[in-house]
Amino acid sequence: MLIKNFWSHNARQLGTVIGLVGLVLIFWAWTPYFLTISNLLNIAQQTSINAIIAVGLTFVIITAGIDLSVGSIMAFAGVVMASLLQADQPIYIAIILGLLVGAASGLVNGLLISYGKLPPFISTLGMMSVARGAALLFTDGRPISGFSPEFRYIATGEILYIPVPVIIMIVVYLIAHFVLTRTKLGRYTYAIGGNEEASLLSGINVKMMKTIVYSLSGMLSGLAAVLLTARLNSAQPIAGIMYELDAIAAAVIGGTSLMGGEGKISGTLIGALIMGVLRNGLNLLGVSSFIQQIVIGSVIIVAVLVDMALKKGKN
Amino acid sequence: MKTILELKNIKKEYPGVVALDDVSFTLQKGEVHILLGENGAGKSTLVKILSGAVRKTNGKIILFDEEIEIKNPKHAFQIGIGIIYQELNLIPHLTVAENIFLGREFSINSGIIDNQKIIAEAQKLLDELKVRINPQALIKDLGIAQQQMVEVAKALSLNAKILIMDEPTSALTENEIEELFRIINKLKEQGVSIIYISHRLDELFQIGDTVTILRDGKLVATKLISETTHQELIKMMVNRELKDQFPRVKPSIESELLSVENLTTVNRLSNISFNLKAGEILGVFGLLGSGRTELARAIFGVDEILSGKIRINGESVVIKSPIEAINYGIALLTEDRKTQGLILELDLQKNVSLASLSQVSTYGILSDTKERELSEKYISDLNIKTTGPQQIVRNLSGGNQQKVVLSKWLSSKAKIYIFDEPTRGIDVGSKVEIYEIMNRLTKEGAGIIMISSDLPEILGMSDRIMVMHQGRITAELSGEEASQESIMHFALGENYAN
């Protein structure tokens, strides 16, 4: 039984890895440039923002919730931070404030869901619009552009040939993996998503845990804002539209169940990489962006169909 | 009278359990046939077979002189068997008429629903029953009694010749019950036969023609209501051999652990007072709707308490959440392990440590080693049959799942244990093991409140027995003075005792 469990658990992970490797091989066959170090690093860098947002969504989705507001929160946190940078505030102050704006927006989501008893879909749908509006209002609809090279280093810099955003992404994934697998917060995240009633009756502070998880998701959106603003050398109030869907897709392709209680941070990374490889490969092949959307949508659907088939086999 | 349905030697086996054994049953045209028995006597299995929800293992079903096999619920409807469950199956935001004809809507040629006709037909059915319900009213705006009438109308629209009603009066007021009985009598006149399940003895004498008593999956007797008495029915329901399945060893009972005074809650409980001493097992017996589970939830801080006092070790406490209850050393083993006790997709080790993660973590970081050691301790202590700490609890048997829940609370170092139906759905061997654990707990100075609807268990394991009926305590009996009959009397709310 144990061995069977081991296989069914890892078959899921293996499936996504095989999918990723398969995609890489296909693109490599079509366009040899695809499998060069510089292009791979390029993919990793392009993936980093979606991958970081997807970490927050993985937590949220494991609790059987959803967060639709991440893209808007990212835009809002980005413009607040950019305005501080332009006002010649120290970079670290601006970044911390960006993260705080994100976390605070997430906190509001969490409070509305836990204490206001709103369905997560509604609360975060509302926040999606509120944060977007706040970003537009804050900048009067205009982008804030032009920052110091020190700040832009976050996007352009390299450490041992590895782009800084990729390093940040790896660090976030290592921490998130540790939190999910080795801490109380992580355990309670799975427990709440697996069975909220049983968790409550086991003495878990379900409301507080959910609030923390949504705050975390908001904070990671703030972090994504730092990377995006540095990369574009500009903070745009209309940035990040539809990012929530890409992040949800990454988590779901990676095996996180929308029903809650199941998911792995490593799966989300693979999911985000699959999205990134697809975009990059299709671009290299010169496939039109219209067709790209069709391909990506189909991949999401196929991934979840395969997931469901595997689970059915398990039971 | 004409026989319309005959069950011959019906047997139903589930893996490891015989739910019905050699049960025969005859239903006459136009009679109200009562099905009586304790929880687990086999009533619901019988109903499930008739409704097509499960298939019989053996035996014959003869409907209108023809042997049939009831394949599924839809098939049951087609052959004229209608069921009104305790939990009504109506869609709240649709109208009465829409509910009655759900899935069988009349349509105007190309599939457009003919609303006028649906409403008119629904009105006709309701008129036949002489009930005043607007067919265009939304179900959610109706009371339970009216919703039940809608279910009856729906069954009639399906041309039901046999109507099964499962505890139809459990949520009704006196007047509503009168109304229901009027309808039942009307249905009888029209030649509909009714299989009626209820615990309320007074009702049975009012409405029933015949009664069949089941016990432990076996047929005890079928009698005419006019030829039996309350006493005889109770005796037939509960009388059984008490084998040596209850190894209760009574330790010395010490100081008071918990006392509850005049507890009243929003849902059901009124003026509950009792106490629990260290080393004691207090049995709480009540039938469905008696408030036994609500009592557990109130003490555990889940349901809101309106008034009353709770003392733990003599100190007055206010418990507003399960977290606080656990901090006061209370543990609740819920009635339903799967939906309330376990995280089924997590492994054994993670379920065991769930209520005591602080013990296996430092600064919020979990120690896998400590966690594994904790679970291994209970695997050997409680003799849990598993492949190891990493086994997903979904794959454990019922008895072993219950032991995992127990381990969770044992590791939280609770002193007051509330067991709600501790052995439901558990095989006999594991039951005895659970009782042994209860013995050990009380020996170590814990107190146990054991809520159960299993009479032999209550009698076999309790030092003291509290009987509940409709949210009140109707009796407190010492282990010696209690008998199955006396407990059942108080549980039925009868105002006389043996």
Q: Do A185 and B408 touch (CB under 8 A)?
A: no
Region of B265 (left: φ > 0; alpha: ψ -120 to 50; beta: rest) is beta
Strands lying side by side in the sheet with B416-420: B330-333, B416-420, B447-452, B281-286, B464-469, B472-478
Residue of B302, B350, B387 lying closest to A1 (CB–CB): B387
Size of interface A-B (CB pairs under 8 A): 82
Q: Please name the residue of chain B whose CA is at the shortest distance from the CA of residue A314.
A: B395
Residues of A in contact with B355 (CB under 8 A): 202-203
Q: Do A201 and B346 touch (CB under 8 A)?
A: no
| Distance in angstroms between the alpha carbons of the first and the last residue of chain A | 12
Host domain of residue A31:
2-314
Q: Chain A: nearest CA to B496, how far in angstroms?
A: 38
Q: Please name the residue of chain B whose CA is at the shortest distance from the CA of residue A184.
A: B364
| Band of residue B346 on the pLDDT scale cut at 50, 70, 90 | very high
Interface test mutation site (partner A, options B327, B335, B345, max chain A beta carbons within 10 A): B345
Q: Chain B: nearest CA to A205, how far in angstroms?
A: 7
Q: Do B345 and A261 touch (CB under 8 A)?
A: yes
Q: How many CA atoms lie within 13 A of B16 on its CB side?
A: 9
Residues of B in contact with A180 (CB under 8 A): none
Residues of B in contact with A262 (CB under 8 A): 345
Instruction: Lowest mean pLDDT of B328-342, B393-407, B417-431, name the range.
Output: B417-431
Q: What is the pLDDT of residues A46-61, one digit of tens each?
A: 999 999 999 999 999 9
Name the nearest CA neighbour of B237 among B246, B228, B245.
B228
Residues of A in contact with B336 (CB under 8 A): none
Predicted pLDDT of residue B428: 65
Q: What is the pLDDT of residues A190-222, one digit of tens each?
A: 999 999 999 999 999 999 999 999 999 999 999
Predicted pLDDT of residue A303: 83
Q: What is the pLDDT of residues B222-251, one digit of tens each?
A: 999 999 988 888 788 876 544 456 777 777
Predicted pLDDT of residue B427: 67
| Band of residue A315 on the pLDDT scale cut at 50, 70, 90 | very low
Name the nearest CA neighbour of A307 among A276, A263, A246.
A263
Residue of A5, A198, A200 lying closest to B392 (CB–CB): A5
Mean pLDDT of A128-133: 97
Q: Do B323 and A190 touch (CB under 8 A)?
A: no
Residue of A184, A202, A262 lying closest to B361 (CB–CB): A184
| Band of residue B386 on the pLDDT scale cut at 50, 70, 90 | confident
Residue of B325, B366, B390 lying closest to A187 (CB–CB): B366
Predicted pLDDT of residue B174: 76
Q: What is the pLDDT of residues B203-216, one digit of tens each?
A: 889 999 999 999 88
Predicted pLDDT of residue A314: 52
Predicted pLDDT of residue B240: 53
Q: Do A200 and B302 touch (CB under 8 A)?
A: yes
Strands lying side by side in the sheet with B315-317: B272-277, B256-265, B305-312, B315-317
Contacts by A86-92 with C-beta closer than 8 Å and gap 24+? Answer: A86/A144, A86/A146, A86/A147, A91/A148, A91/A150, A91/A151
Predicted pLDDT of residue B497: 40
Name the nearest CA neighbour of B462 among B210, B279, B258, B271.
B279
Give me the CATH number covering residue A28.
1.10.3470
Count of domains forming chain A: 1
Contact B208, B198 (CB under 8 A): no
Mean pLDDT of B346-355: 94
Q: Three-state DSSP class for B171?
A: coil
Predicted pLDDT of residue B242: 47
Q: Do B355 and A184 touch (CB under 8 A)?
A: no
Residues of A in contact with B366 (CB under 8 A): 182-184, 187
Predicted pLDDT of residue A16: 84
The more confident residue out of A176 and B488 is: A176
DSSP B250: -
Residue of B346, B364, B387 lying closest to A183 (CB–CB): B364
Region of A248 (left: φ > 0; alpha: ψ -120 to 50; beta: rest) is alpha
Q: CA of B64: how far to CAs of B24, B29, B80, in Å? A: 16, 10, 11
Predicted pLDDT of residue A64: 95
CATH T-level fold of B256-491: Rossmann fold (3.40.50)
Q: What is the pLDDT of residues A275-310, one digit of tens each?
A: 999 999 999 999 998 999 899 899 888 888 887 777
Instruction: Output the pTM of the full model.
Output: 0.77
Predicted pLDDT of residue B496: 42
Predicted pLDDT of residue B137: 93
Q: Chain B: nearest CA to A302, how far in angstroms?
A: 24
The more confident residue out of B24 and A13 is: B24
Q: Please name the residue of chain B whose CA is at the shortest distance from the CA of residue A195.
A: B343
The CATH architecture annotation of domain B3-238 reads 3-Layer(aba) Sandwich (3.40)
d(CA B439, CA B463): 11
Residues of A in contact with B379 (CB under 8 A): none
Please state the ipTM of this predicted complex. 0.82
| Band of residue A6 on the pLDDT scale cut at 50, 70, 90 | low
Q: What is the mean pLDDT of chain B?
A: 87
Instruction: Lowest mean pLDDT of A127-141, A199-213, B449-463, name the range.
Output: B449-463
Q: Do B355 and A202 touch (CB under 8 A)?
A: yes
Q: What is the pLDDT of residues B398-414, one digit of tens each?
A: 788 989 999 999 998 89
Q: Chain B: nearest CA to A139, how far in angstroms?
A: 41
Same fold, B3-238 and B256-491: yes
Predicted pLDDT of residue B498: 37
Q: Please name the residue of chain B whose CA is at the shortest distance from the CA of residue A263.
A: B345
| Band of residue B431 on the pLDDT scale cut at 50, 70, 90 | confident
d(CA B50, CA B32): 16
Residue of A2, A194, A201 lying closest to B345 (CB–CB): A194
Segments making up each domain of chain B, as ranges: 3-238, 256-491
Percent of chain A with pLDDT over 70: 95
Predicted pLDDT of residue B39: 65
Interface test mutation site (partner B, options A10, A62, A188, A202, max chain B beta carbons within 10 A): A202
Q: Do A202 and B354 touch (CB under 8 A)?
A: yes
Is 70 exceeded by the pLDDT of residue A2?
A: no
Is 80 exceeded by the pLDDT of residue B310?
A: yes
Mean pLDDT of B77-89: 84
| Band of residue A1 on the pLDDT scale cut at 50, 70, 90 | very low
Residues of B in contact with A191 (CB under 8 A): 343, 346, 350, 354
Is 80 exceeded by the pLDDT of residue B359?
A: yes
d(CA B204, CA B210): 9
Q: What is the pLDDT of residues B129-175, one digit of tens each?
A: 888 899 999 998 888 888 888 988 888 888 889 999 988 887 777 77
Q: Do A203 and B364 touch (CB under 8 A)?
A: no
Residues of A in contact with B322 (CB under 8 A): 200-203
Mean pLDDT of A62-69: 97
Residue of B323, B340, B366 lying closest to A198 (CB–CB): B340
Q: Chain B: nearest CA to A99, how far in angstroms?
A: 23
Q: What is the mean pLDDT of chain A?
A: 92
Predicted pLDDT of residue A8: 54
Residues of A in contact with B339 (CB under 8 A): 195, 197-198
Residue of B327, B334, B357 lying closest to A187 (CB–CB): B357
